[in-house]
Structure 1
């Protein structure tokens, strides 16, 4: 929103809220029942009826994902604004949600996932990065750093990397954040299902949520943004541990490269990425047996021209121009 306003737009934001029982999740059970319930109760329409922005005149609609946006709503927007340009940007994968049901209602569709772009014949555009206001010239204190939320096997991978760092004299700062413990009953049911499916294995997520594992790298509060920025500035390399089924590049990857930091990632699919496959600043490691080349992380960030050109295009001011395909921005609504 800030960048759009800098470029001259009047912007309104409608925050996207994923409704319960949404049938478009790939892994949702009882999908037919969910679909009927969803349609009969018009959940998305009820959610968006609280906003009055739809009755104004708009030049652009930029939809980020659109978990709750509905074809009925899109038809209404286009009826009120016959000349509106509608752009959909996906920074979640079509492996997790059926976003493609919205494609016919948009003039342009972009995705952050290179594999999805090929499979669904849509435009590939990685996430943006924002310039570091404090500069990239802080004194280096850490060879590696990681700050991120708990998900999937992230804790186990970080612990393996931590052990490797200790054994090889690598300085590091790791912090995994837990901000929502969810419903006790639901979490306990998930825990029981995990134990039935994975006999003998430790359910790290459950044990961390309920204090059965005490670890200084775990925080139940967000890291202050200024503190997090200072840690990134003081790091030589940024670690990226993606959700296993995800192939799209995380914001951490793009932002880190924008800050001229090396990226150590478990996302091996980056090797096939048309934009980043030959980037010398990206080091891919095995999430099950993470071995980090100490010589590689000690080398300076490579500022070769092709990779700098890509990152220049992905800086947020240029990213906005690409996604809207325009030189001047007027009134628009952002659905986020």
Structure 2
């Protein structure tokens, strides 16, 4: 069972660097009184080592083990009330075993914001945790995990004063898999009176050149279609505030709902998404959410000009970062 509150509790937080979401979670834990030590899951950030971590984690784990041991010694914590892990991609069984032995009173909580299919070795670590939650409904059924969707962080709350709509539709995201193809196909079908903003991010120009050579869907892409710096959170908040509808394109192999889904709804904006699973969630309404076919994307004109229907306060609160932490830690 969970604890009553986080005030004065010590938390060891293991999470990957991912568009500053790890900072948002750590800040929220600290805002609620926790004392937090952070360890980076997937601590090696060069493109080559990131790829190696994904393709063959066993090569990376011994180096990660040594780094974690050094960082934990630097923290010098006598105990942790909670050890909270996001994904745990580079946490080996030996590191988890050592953590269990060193902090036997700790409550071990795992949250998967990726699918087990993409992090297959993590399934062998599940027995080390007291509570396991996932954003993926398929994994929840297969592995007996608790289904807990993602969240929206601070800055994505519905504005008290409605903002002006500069764009009828916008998209902000990494240009992985078929995202360029979906965006390119959709924008060709928008009528001239529909204003749009597209921010397709790639890590470097050479990644664009590689994709253009290896992916038929990227053949007609131009380098100027892409940005090579991640969009700052402040700019992301501004774009959301100035958009009527936000486009969401989940990974083709993904079933769980993206962070973007909840950031959009939290901001009081309409959502156009390729993820058909969204129909199964308590916030779904055809007034606010348009499901599109990723192979032939189309959004009705009326959807892009009619207003957002406000969410019930209980639902809006559940999908905030506060609601996510409450459920994850059973507060």
CA radius of gyration, larger in: 1
Unpaired stretches in structure 1, ≥5 consecutive residues:
196-200, 327-336
Q: Which of 14, 23, 27 is matched with 1:2 structurally?
A: 27
Q: Which of 72, 82, 89 is matched with 2:94 structurally?
A: 72
TM-score by length of 1: 0.79
Looking at structure 2, the residues matched to 104 and 22 of structure 1 have their Cα atoms a distance apart, in angstroms, of: 27
Question: Equivalent residue for 1:291?
Answer: 298
Question: Equivalent residue for 1:333?
Answer: none
Looking at structure 1, the residues matched to 53 and 142 of structure 2 have their Cα atoms a distance apart, in angstroms, of: 18
Q: Which of 258, 265, 275 is matched with 1:267 structurally?
A: 275
| 1:312 CA displacement | 1.0
Looking at structure 2, the residues matched to 60 and 134 of structure 1 have their Cα atoms a distance apart, in angstroms, of: 28
Q: What is the correspondence of 1:165-204 to structure 2 with a 5 Å cutoff?
A: 165=190, 167=191, 169-181=193-205, 194=214, 201-204=216-219
Q: RMSD of aligned C-alpha atoms?
A: 2.8
Q: Is 1:163 aligned to 2:188, yes or no? A: yes
1:207-248 CA distances to partner (integer Å, 9 max, x unpaired)? Answer: 86xxxx243x42222333323221110111110011111111
Mapped contact 1:131–1:258 kept (Cα < 8 A): no
Question: Equivalent residue for 1:198?
Answer: none
Matched positions, count: 297
Mapped contact 2:60–2:90 kept (Cα < 8 A): no
Unpaired stretches in structure 2, ≥5 consecutive residues:
1-25
1:161-220 CA distances to partner (integer Å, 9 max, x unpaired)? Answer: 11111x353211111112235689xx85x877x47xxxxx3544xx86xxxx243x4222
Question: Equivalent residue for 1:50?
Answer: 70
Question: Equivalent residue for 1:144?
Answer: 169
Question: Equivalent residue for 2:133?
Answer: 110
Give the direction of change, closer, same or farther, for the CA distance of 1:279–1:15 in structure 2 (3 Å limit): farther
Mapped contact 1:24–1:97 kept (Cα < 8 A): no
Give the direction of change, closer, same or farther, for the CA distance of 1:22–1:244 in structure 2 (3 Å limit): closer
Question: Equivalent residue for 2:36?
Answer: 11
Looking at structure 1, the residues matched to 51 and 198 of structure 2 have their Cα atoms a distance apart, in angstroms, of: 35
Looking at structure 2, the residues matched to 100 and 280 of structure 1 have their Cα atoms a distance apart, in angstroms, of: 39
